[in-house]
Chain A
Amino acid sequence: MAVADPPIATHVARAGRHARFEIALPWLVLAVAGLGLPLLDDSYVGVIAQRACIYWILVAGLNLVVGFAGQIAIGWVALLTVGAYTTAVLTAGTVTAEWNPYLALAASGLGGAVFGGFVGLPALRLRTFYFAMTTLGFATIVTQVALAWKSVTGGGVGTPGPVFPWPFEPGWGFYYFCFGLAALATWMTANIAASRFGRALVAIRDADVAAEAAGIAKPRLLMTVFLFSGALAGIAGGLFSSLQSYITPDAFTFDLSVLFFIAILIGGRGSILGPLLGTIILTVLPEIAAPMVAWSTFLYAALLLVIVLVVPGGIADLLDYRNRRPLKQHREIAPRPELLPQLLGEHRDDAELALSEIKLNFGGVRAIDGLSLEIRSGEVHGLIGPNGSGKTTALNVISGYYAPSSGEATLNGIRLPFKAPHTRAGYGIARTFQTPRLIGGASVIDNVMIGASNDGECSFVESLIALPRHRRDEARIRAAAMRALETVGLDQLAAVRADRLQHSELRFMEIARALMLRPKFLLLDEPAAGLSAEEISRLGALIKAISRAGTGVLLVEHHADLIFDISDRVTVLNLGKVLAAGTPAEIRAHREVITAYLGA
């Protein structure tokens, strides 16, 4: 496996050790501070610390929803309420037999998960505002129910919270309980963040079209995260009811929701340390600025507005100094196609991808009018035509974004479903986009690893607690991504934030991501657009090598020279119909093609 140049390998290893220490340092400080806090022997500090831990247990889970998946969950306080009332009511013994508080806490986690999943349902189909409104509505309704359901919740009078028995009795015992659970929540969310699931969440947030092309099943992943996040919020609620010792609906104002939300935004999306610091700061701040308590919500709201308008990246962005170091100027992309067999595997079966009699309308416009086309393993199939002739549309039909009004797409004779782009990765069909779809805030290698989102053996739960299979998957995917970057010639930029790359580099990065699927077929949508002549010739050699390694390539391009250089067969589209098809030599000599497209 190891063919990488030794200098690069050692350089990466040294940088890795240093970086690992840099990353671990703040966590060590926090752990020591947290464990040593009881030495202060100040019960007031203890209560604040307990509150910070409890809030963080909730925020840690919410962070996956908001910070990673980018879903605007603003009413999460409702899940805290559900958890708090579940524990309080079960342990009070007024409605059921008296439960053991630890059991009741587990029930709170379960209840939180159920409601978290329920509230999350609309997010599976609709974007942003609808989900925000659903969570807000849920928060409103939970408060109304808590007030009205007097026989269970005690209505406005409230209900007492439980006292946890040995070994975590009130005081520092309970603090260590909260601290331990908070540490556990941190560890688990960090594991998810560093797994293919975490990368997939970020992909859903920043580049959902690319996420689908990589085969990420958004509904399933989001639902898993909502359940997990809801469970953490429920457990936080159970602990909260004990901390408060008496709960009324007034204890769960919308202010808390805002606090949770801003903690994440201040901290920065896609970070774990940032939101943790945000939570601590926002919990402690009102204690220091006591005269400001009446205005605290106003200040939170003002802070939210300022963050949104001025620093959408949060603390994490401000602290990310490593990505402000200047990059080398005049970088050259030097692909190494000779590495392809290692990346794609040696023995590959022949396959055929075919469109037959596809027709597709956009409103009154017939975009594709009876298109038939075959792409075979080991061949480059060029698709050219004037603007609006249906090239990209054809590509979108193959990759499942559009459903044609008639006709079918088949792979080795098996029909491919339409309007289901996330299924294509499973069939071994990868693609790139006319405008590169990147996750700007993630490193180049993370962007490439998105391509292997479905290529892992371990489940979400295994990743959560970092079982060996999770670590094996990660190591294997990372090594493959590094190989893919070496292949396209971007390995030197692996650790750089993707939004700092030049346009041409992004095109190669997308190809590396597509190669992670070890695709049977690769669909390239104008990969040469915006590239220099030198880069185009390297791209051509790379594409040719990809096809010779056994992958069928469909190349949509405007650069006729590139098409004729590397294509084995060429199809020319005009007004959604095939104008001509054949070898490059035949097409070059085709009279109609010359008049319609190439020019005399």
Chain B
Amino acid sequence: MIESIVSYGLAVGAVYAMIGITYNVMFSASRVFSFTSGMLGMLGGVLGALFITRLGLPVVVGLGLVLAGGAAIGVVTEFVAVRPVLKSLEQHLYVLSTLAFALMVQQVVAIKFGTDAQPFPRLLPIGPGLLDQQFWLPMLACAATIAGLEFLYRRTLVGRAFVAIAEDSYAARALGLPEQGLRVASFALAGIIGMLAGFTGAEMLLAFFGNQPILNFYGFVPVALGGMGSNRGAVAGGLALGLFQQAANFLVGGIFAAVAVFVVFIAVLLLRPEGLAGVATSRRV
């Protein structure tokens, strides 16, 4: 039992962590928390099943199309739901615009793809068992995402520009960095990461339009725990959440698991609003 808690918990946790990173990548470039994060995770599974199972495309082509779709929808999100409201004085409008956009996409999926959870194709002939691909694929994807982002942010010029925008967008613009272009690029990047999370996790979570709110919430919990903008915090928080959830599922049942996660989430928000590892920064007057 302990093995299945660990393998399943870490795998689900890796998906949560990647959705958390999706939130972070968009947040860093725009100061916007976008409800499209869970939508991307949901779409990764649904589009994967659509391309590979229904259309019969090879796995590699299917993955490529899903990731390209993620980038495209990230760009669309930026243009439709983020750019127009950033100009507005009331900054919080992004909460509603991104939610509305995500709901529209979700409804199109529900109507065109169906409201039933559908199985996701097996990608590699490895398994079954505790070392089944459905468990290590999300973990591998998560590790690759983190490694890729670290390389991007530390070693490349574009990545440093991302960091500069996240640190102080006014100063970055004053230096002549193309803030809008970088924001669009980061939304495309977030689209790819979110879709990858959904694609690799879909064998466990299935291709299901209803995964959107679940991923939205459980993907945000690691961000709240680890501090917004912190990818390492998101990974640590995501894996911890996955393990806790599975352990509670096995040991005391799903109701307790759901309620306990929610109570912890509220307690952390109240006691450490900046996250367990974050630093408080705000100046209002």
Contact = CB atoms under 8 A, between A and B. Distances in A.
Interface of A: 72, 74, 118, 121-122, 124-130, 132-134, 136-141, 144-145, 148-149, 209, 254, 258, 265, 294-295, 297-298, 300-302, 304-305, 308-309, 312, 396, 401-402, 433
A301 B284 contact: no
A140 B284 contact: no
A136 B107 contact: no
Most A CB within 10 A of own CB, among B90, B93, B269: B269
B58 interface: no
Contact of B216 (A136, A144, A396, A402): A136
A90 to B, nearest CB: 19
B140 to A, nearest CB: 28
Contacts of B261: 141
Contacts of B184: none
Given A301-B107, A308-B85, A132 B270 contact: no
Contacts of B108: 298
A535 to B, nearest CB: 25
A72 B96 contact: yes
A140 B245 CA distance: 15
A139 B107 contact: no
A26 B146 CA distance: 59
Contacts of A308: 85, 93, 96-97, 100
B107 A209 contact: no
A74 B35 CA distance: 12
Interface string B5-49: 000000000000000000000000000010000000000000000
A133 B217 contact: yes
Nearest to B263: A118
A72 B95 contact: yes
Contacts of A118: 266
A19 to B, nearest CB: 28
A295 B107 contact: yes
A294 B84 CA distance: 29
Closest 5 CB pairs of A and B: A301-B103, A305-B100, A298-B107, A128-B92, A304-B100
Contact of B273 (A126, A265, A401): A126
Interface string B114-127: 00000000000000
B104 interface: yes
Contacts of B90: 312
Contacts of A300: 103
The secondary-structure label for the interface of chain B is helix
B255 A209 contact: no
Contacts of B95: 72, 128-129, 132
B70 to A, nearest CB: 20
B92 A137 contact: no
A95 B76 CA distance: 50
Contacts of B259: 141, 145
Interface of B: 33, 80-81, 84-85, 88, 90, 92-93, 95-97, 99-101, 103-104, 107-108, 111, 213-214, 216-217, 220-221, 224, 253-255, 258-259, 261-262, 265-266, 269-270, 273, 284-285
A312 B88 contact: yes
B38 to A, nearest CB: 9
Nearest to A261: B96
B93 A129 contact: no
Given A141-B258, A145-B255, A295-B111, 14 more contacts: A125-B269, A126-B269, A126-B273, A129-B92, A129-B95, A138-B262, A294-B111, A297-B107, A298-B108, A304-B96, A305-B104, A308-B93, A308-B100, A402-B285
Contacts of A137: 217, 220-221, 262, 265
A265 B93 CA distance: 11
18 contacts: A124-B270, A125-B273, A127-B92, A130-B224, A130-B273, A133-B217, A137-B221, A137-B265, A140-B214, A141-B217, A141-B261, A144-B258, A145-B258, A148-B254, A294-B111, A300-B103, A304-B103, A305-B80
Nearest to A401: B285
Contacts of A298: 103-104, 107-108, 111
Contacts of B80: 305
B255 A302 contact: no
Point out which of B33, B92, B259 has the most chain A C-beta atoms below 10 A from its C-beta: B92
B42 to A, nearest CB: 13
Contacts of B96: 72, 265, 304-305, 308
A132 B23 CA distance: 15
Nearest to B223: A133
Nearest to A126: B273
B107 A122 contact: no
Contacts of B216: 133, 136
B285 A209 contact: yes
Given A298-B107, A312-B88, A140 B217 contact: yes
Contacts of A72: 92, 95-96
Contact of A254 (B100, B213, B258): B213
Contact of A304 (B33, B99, B284): B99
Contacts of A258: 103
B266 A302 contact: no
Contacts of A134: 265-266, 269
B124 to A, nearest CB: 31
A129 B108 CA distance: 25
Contacts of B213: 136, 139-140, 254
Contacts of A401: 284-285
B93 A209 contact: no
A588 B104 CA distance: 67
Given A137-B217, A149-B255, A396-B285, A305 B97 contact: yes
Nearest to B220: A133
Nearest to A265: B96
A295 B109 CA distance: 11
Contacts of A128: 92, 95
A144 B100 CA distance: 23
A74 B33 CA distance: 15
Contacts of B107: 295, 297-298, 301
Contacts of A254: 103, 213
Contacts of B262: 137-138, 141
B237 to A, nearest CB: 14
A297 B111 CA distance: 11
Contacts of B269: 121-122, 125-126, 130, 134
Given A122-B266, A258-B103, A312-B93, A129 B273 contact: no
Contacts of B93: 308, 312
B266 to A, nearest CB: 6
Most buried by A among B214, B269, B285: B285
Contact of A144 (B33, B85, B254): B254
A133 B93 CA distance: 14
A412 B62 CA distance: 75
Nearest to A294: B111
A147 to B, nearest CB: 9
Of listed B85, B95, B100, B253, residue having the most chain A CB within 10 A:
B100
A566 to B, nearest CB: 25
Nearest to B269: A122
A129 B94 CA distance: 9
A137 B220 CA distance: 10
A133 B228 CA distance: 14
B270 A121 contact: yes
A125 B270 CA distance: 7
Contacts of B99: 74, 132, 301, 304
A137 B35 CA distance: 12
A401 B33 CA distance: 27
B27 to A, nearest CB: 9
Nearest to B84: A309
